[in-house]
Structure 1
């Protein structure tokens, strides 16, 4: 229970990647401030959720997932889409699919430009934080496969708590598919985490030596001045006029002498703010919530990366999946081995796929692109900024059990980068226990509709190239034809979300109409209240955003450390 008199220096709400990174960084400073980390979910200590090859299944564990859904999507023929959000220590890092990519250096330099602070948010500073976070293992056991990844030590860290790298062994067709995509015309990339993600290569995993890593790993060996309380959803921020003094949960209050920092993510941080009287006046008035600070940007600007798949049946001779996934006995024995020493087939199957980011001249030459604001066009033409991503080898049968009985298939997925559709999250009641209404408004912008058609055409061309097509025996899921209309309709009926929700409490300069926090993570108009999670990031980074969430938490910590002199000796 909270104390009406005991105060912490800092209260952090949410133990996902950003919250854990922030809490660990603050608590380990030389001053050793008293830090309270509040998590709505549980401790998440089940080791079986760390099996590398089973990372595609953890999202289906109810205790680890809030189970959110979107509102019916007009751009997706009225479908309601899965909007999974992690619950418990580790947050989204405990249920995501283990892709660890940092994005493009131009993402971060653009962030810095938007807030006029290159020193804090530019690529040079961000890359150093990424390196400090990780221990990267780039070794590959099979000698003939070592040519597929050539990371430079200067682009990676070796002393951080997050263990990242490549799987030691792979399914047999990983090199075959990668080679065929290169032969079809995709450029090569020896390391997506160099700051330039363009080109096809091996995906870097948030896993190492057969075991997935989560934000919980940042909390190992924490000092006593960091207190962690789980199963404690925060309902609102406690205010003294326009100053945050603590937070309220069901039956408890916790107080902070310095700052309250919300790290509950793009779907829940706006909820806490609005139930605290901070947000659009019209939205708060609908539910009789007293307005403390009119902040129209709260809940607006929701961005994500929509994707759509193609599934092809392959010659059984081209891969070895049936020998493992087709045998319950083999999978059970593999789990027994993993439980013993984190080795075996569950560190091979489903553990290494390929991915790449690409520019599309057909997208950037389209009329829909030319109709965009000049600043948006300029951003997408920057050297390291892609228009789309391709993943090859997505194990659909693990995400949707029963999809296949013959596992000799391949699933490739096309992701739209830099979508122009802009969504929102809004209140549905005055009860802080009710989730917000989530409306990403997928495929409602003309540019997005043109872009998904063009990038999917490129994916179709690649799968039909002789080097790839020679092992394809049937099409399982694809558009009815190559027409623009059928491809767009396919996206509307089969597209989904990447759970990369970003931008609902956006950071900006003073006076920016779409800004809710300033470059020091401070909520505009409120003292001692900050936000540090993906909701503040003003650029939907060109990656899978868990890495950006981590670095956002560390960056906020650096700002606080500098501001309060926490590292003085």
Structure 2
């Protein structure tokens, strides 16, 4: 049996960060356990590689499917999740967004002491190395010396700039920094890249900048990184987490924890592991023949995600990604350019520009986010048939619908049952319709309309704002997740909380959850940066003996 001070399950956005931070103390030993392989692959470090990793399950993508969703007319949703070092930060769209300050202040109002915006801002700044503030830590909003590289796009697509201008023409403010003083407005996104390459959390926290680090741990002797290692369950000594049972190389073995087991496996796999180990709703566990260690009814509940709909416009322009012989010829030339300079179309994160807008007056913060993509795409459709064009996503930032994650069996190698219950709350549909209408207004402005082209799949919307019922039908047929699941191991002080504000699991000892699953409510934006912040703060909580 191998023995470590800390065992961290899951080498994703949060797992890499907390393992590396804990290993900064040379007196402790840390093992980081990842079910997938390393992140050393061109599909990870080249930004446009996400086009090959995200659309379908693979070596580095779990590619989960949800249960049939009534809100989607019975369709199943798709949920890509990273399965390699860096987790979903190795396959995501690299958009660096923290959310709105009100989100964190709301957490504090729910009883999560120490998690308001002013409490968490230092951890965002500590993690960040923004190229505009490199080497400086005197900026109110940004850090300049953290491990996570954040930059402006090196080669923004001309149509991304057109989108920003069109949004301004439609009446929205310009915003060059969604993570600054105000979130409202339209602009180009900041991305987790450095010199045109993806900067996932493995490269930031483990490899320390070396994309080909063969030790996987940056050479730190007190940090063991175990890839291709499947955790089967948490082992308990009474109600204390004592270690893990894992499978490595086809052999089952034990890992022991002197101090703590830290679960950082994400919004789907973290509750799955707790449940498979006997921590969760007692009756659900007994029904599956699992011995109950602690009756914690909130495990797997409170699943929240951003429902997302996409509008397309076909445009004949080789500035846009698309499936055509001229398009492939241009991309070939762009790949050569990328090899030489790390610029050009291969450095695109696809979701290059966007906006945070309010669906109606009187709201305290934006409630809709837009992602503009210089390519035609849709949820689950065949992009090869679409040709060249651009797309825009709209998602509801604070959905009211709540779902759950349950076990199919006690075997961690079997996918969990995922039921987000998208659009089960009528207010979410109202937000989606408002998002569709906002996109069409932006598409109609001169900055984009002057490029010509035509919208796809919206011919029957009707004039003006469009027919409400027709748009609702469009939303049900074409909405899916934008891949921001959270909340299934909720932090809080109520009876359904899974972890306390120090992220310790209720009813047991020596066990914490540190990832996006602890969010009591979904933040207004992409969830990668907040997951990293959670890990940074958790490391301080652990070191302080909380």
Q: TM-score, normalised by structure 1?
A: 0.86
Determine whether 1:132 maps to 2:89: no
Determine whether 1:214 maps to 2:215: no
Structure 1 pair 479/24, CA: closer, same or farther in 2 (3 Å)? farther
Query: Counterpart of 2:314?
Result: 313
* Conserved? CA contact 1:354–1:393, under 8 Å: yes
Query: Counterpart of 1:460?
Result: 440
* Conserved? CA contact 1:479–1:486, under 8 Å: no
Helix, strand or coil at the partner of 1:563? coil
Deviations 1:280-327 (A, max 9, x none): 11211211111111111001000000110111123649x565799834
Cα deviation, residue 56, structure 1: 3.5
Distance 2:482 2:188 in 1: 19
Determine whether 1:279 maps to 2:263: no
Q: CA RMSD in A?
A: 2.4
Cα deviation, residue 398, structure 1: 10
Query: Counterpart of 2:384?
Result: 403
**Counterpart among 76, 80, 84 of residue 76 in structure 2:** 80
* Conserved? CA contact 2:43–2:52, under 8 Å: no
Alignment of 1:231-380 (within 5 A): 231-250=228-247, 251-314=252-315, 316=317, 319=319, 326-339=326-339, 342-347=342-347, 353-361=352-360
* Conserved? CA contact 2:321–2:375, under 8 Å: no
Distance 2:301 2:47 in 1: 36
* Conserved? CA contact 1:350–1:395, under 8 Å: no
Q: TM-score, normalised by structure 2?
A: 0.90
* Conserved? CA contact 2:150–2:192, under 8 Å: yes
Q: Which runs of 5+ in 1 are unaligned?
A: 140-151, 365-380, 565-569
Distance 1:352 1:360 in 2: 21
Distance 1:504 1:126 in 2: 21
Cα deviation, residue 475, structure 1: 1.5
When the two structures are aligned, how many residues end up with a matched partner? Answer: 521
Structure 1 pair 421/398, CA: closer, same or farther in 2 (3 Å)? closer
* Conserved? CA contact 1:170–1:352, under 8 Å: no
Cα deviation, residue 342, structure 1: 2.9
Distance 2:446 2:368 in 1: 23
Cα deviation, residue 451, structure 1: 2.0
Cα deviation, residue 402, structure 1: 4.2
Distance 1:329 1:260 in 2: 51
Helix, strand or coil at the partner of 1:285? helix
Cα deviation, residue 442, structure 1: 0.3
Q: Which moved more, 1:258-267 or 1:200-209?
A: 200-209
Cα deviation, residue 113, structure 1: 2.6
* Structure (1/2) with the larger helix percentage: 1
Query: Counterpart of 1:375?
Result: none
Q: Which moved more, 1:280-289 or 1:390-399?
A: 390-399
Structure 1 pair 133/56, CA: closer, same or farther in 2 (3 Å)? farther
Query: Counterpart of 1:369?
Result: none
Deviations 1:190-240 (A, max 9, x none): 200115321111111111221011011110235211111111111111001
Distance 2:181 2:523 in 1: 12
Cα deviation, residue 340, structure 1: 5.1
Distance 2:315 2:12 in 1: 38
Structure 1 pair 61/80, CA: closer, same or farther in 2 (3 Å)? closer
* Conserved? CA contact 1:181–1:468, under 8 Å: no
Determine whether 1:167 maps to 2:153: yes
Query: Counterpart of 1:567?
Result: none
Distance 1:37 1:480 in 2: 53
Cα deviation, residue 24, structure 1: 0.8
Distance 1:320 1:464 in 2: 18
Helix, strand or coil at the partner of 2:187? strand
